[in-house]
Structure 1
Amino acid sequence: MSAVAVVTGLGTAAPNGLGTSDYWSATRAGKSGIGRVTRFDPDRYPAKLAGEVPGFTAESYLPGKLLPQTDRMTRLALVATDWALADAGIRPKDLPAFDMGVITASSAGGFEFGQGELQNLWSRGSQYVSAYQSFAWFYAVNSGQISIRNGMKGPSGVLVSDQAGGLDAVAQARRQIRKGTDLIVSGSVDASICPWGWVAQYTCGRLSTSDDPATAYRPFAATAAGHVAGEGGAILIVERLEAARDRGADIYGAIAGYGATFDPRPDSGREPGLRKAIGLALADARIRPEEVDVVFADAAGVRELDRVEAEAITSVFGPYGVPVTAPKTMTGRLCSGAAPLDMAAAFLAMSDGLIPPTVNVRPAAEYRLDLVVDRPRAAAVRTALVLARGYGGFNSAMVLRDLDSRNGRT
């Protein structure tokens, strides 16, 4: 029988809260972290709103030697990893190095670091370009820096599939756990709120240009007109169930099922792949649709993409057949960091017996979704389904279960 992969630690950095406690308190209360961009002057750009992580000063958390060689996303990821390891009660130096690995996701790499070095190249000359540019921008840099900082020499890697990447990374972590590795640091943190990153994101044609934080990002609403970009995400400690129990760890829950598909060409006449991904995840978890207590939606905020997601959900669960939520309306879409943050919210929802709300949205009746809006909904959450879609046709779905749903918790 395959080893069960469980999550024992969470470290989050979100626009509505730095650290898991602040994030969850804000999310329960429906507090948004979306506002006008402050990391650069957005006046010359059509989109001016973002979800920015508040109160993060890297110097307060990391040694000075790391700062010249790291982008903001890597600094956030390193600190979130420290928090996740502490939450799990793990001291890496006490464990065999080859029994620990790091698998993260990235959507853009270290855009802000790269922008600064390109500016140096153009304005001052090549001698002013940092040697750290060779890796600080790279998609795999978070995995590399986390593994170096914590002495982790086991299976490692990076997944690049835009917003779906966070789930894909955790799924790969689960595979390595099943192959015998005791612990994998996984999840994702993305951050590219800088002019270069902003232009890159705007080219997708899906950014909202509204100046009102309360109306800019409204997935599943009749007035949906794009999403707000954000930064942040979550790092999760994934362990083999037996290893976690042997050391007496507190366990948030299990990674029970996963499915991934690609959409066909838009002109192919074939249906999008999200419904298939959901079916694969449920089959992998060996559960029926009626066992799912909540769906954390991808929530694109684009009418056609919202329609596709709503049809996938209702085709599996029936019209209004399952509570649906999108707490990312309080943070914006965090690229590859979005789904791991939704995973963290799902595990916290299991602990607290509630479903976090989707704020500032009145769902259009045509979607036939039971969208949880305005305030949390009390519910016994034992099984959650997290959905994520990446630009270019990536679809991923992951089933999370409380251990009470897997033969009891010890």
Structure 2
Amino acid sequence: MNDQGAGRLSETWRGLGYLLGSLCTAALAVLALPVLAVPAAARAWASWHRRHADRLLRSARSGAVRVGPWRVLGWLCVCIVTSVAFGLVVVLCAGNAVTTAVTVPLWWALPAGTPAGGFAAGVPLTGWGTALTLGTAQAVAFAALTYWLVPPLARLHARTCVAMLSPSTAERLAQRVETLTGTRAEAMNAHGAELRRIERDLHDGTQARLVALVMRLGVARELLEDDPRLVSGLLAEAHENAEEAMAELRAVIRTIHPPILADRGLAGALTALAARSAIDTTLDLEDPEDPEDPEDPDGLAAHGAAPAAVEAVAYYTIAEALTNAAKHSRATRSTVRVARDGDRLAIEVTDDGVGGADETLGTGIAGIRHRVLALDGTVRLHSPAGGPTTITVSLPCGS
């Protein structure tokens, strides 16, 4: 069997499981209608079905349902009808194929002249030849129907489920506003905490050293003519304090905005980041709309420089993703792709680690999500057990 046939057979098995499971859940839904009348229960039931539909369609959606209760109720009615109809078709086709294949060897026990079932109805059995011919033809016919009919039926059912449980334009806008409101509040809180940390670092560190420096210079000025040797020691201490203050000041500035972004731009900063990564990292910087611009070999400046905040979030996202790959996923290789597509900056970081990343466990992915959402960007995490892990980020670059 070639790859196409094997893929079709796998699709048929998956469709069979999906449609038979939908038939069973439809029967349960009819029995549990009083419970499903509760909005929270109906939403949980719909989310479960949405996840299974997404899995069948190999969709990267989360499966969460965020539509109004009336939409969920409408979906429930349609789901029960379509699940029963499609499920009975599957039972008819696959059930007859299996039943015929199993019972053909028993047809010899039927009295001569007994009409066979299925497609051979009304045709009398006159012997083994008739039984085997009719039984084989019936099994093959039903198996062929199952092979060709089940995958499109399963996809139609899943797409109907996804379409009815997907938010409308108005609902998407409301959800976007809600998300932005939450992330902006988180960003403001984080910004306030960051300002307090910077103020504390400057007050307790740099400012204290500068005060000591001023005091030593003042004493040295007073003793310049009376005790040159003491003045020399005070100047040496002042010089040491000045160097320490500068080092602390640079450290504080580095936490505000990576200096390398200002010095070398995003492309240069990412090149340096990939070079010093703990794992082997391949960096792919491209611009799909102008990939061969000799004046812009890195492809990130064809549409103008991205805003500083976007570049900082992009740099932080890639740095955090590479750190996670090295520390948590036991990866040995990673690939970073960055591209400008119109007014969006697309980022994809993939590693060959063990997968199973969970942002609720404090692996830094939640921090990436908060920073990206605060800029009205999107984050997708795909990390099945066994790997690979892929983090996809899209950031707006328009004015």
User: Smaller-chain TM-score range?
Assistant: under 0.3
Higher strand share: 1
Greater C-alpha Rg: 2
Higher helix share: 2
TM-score normalised by L of structure 1: 0.24
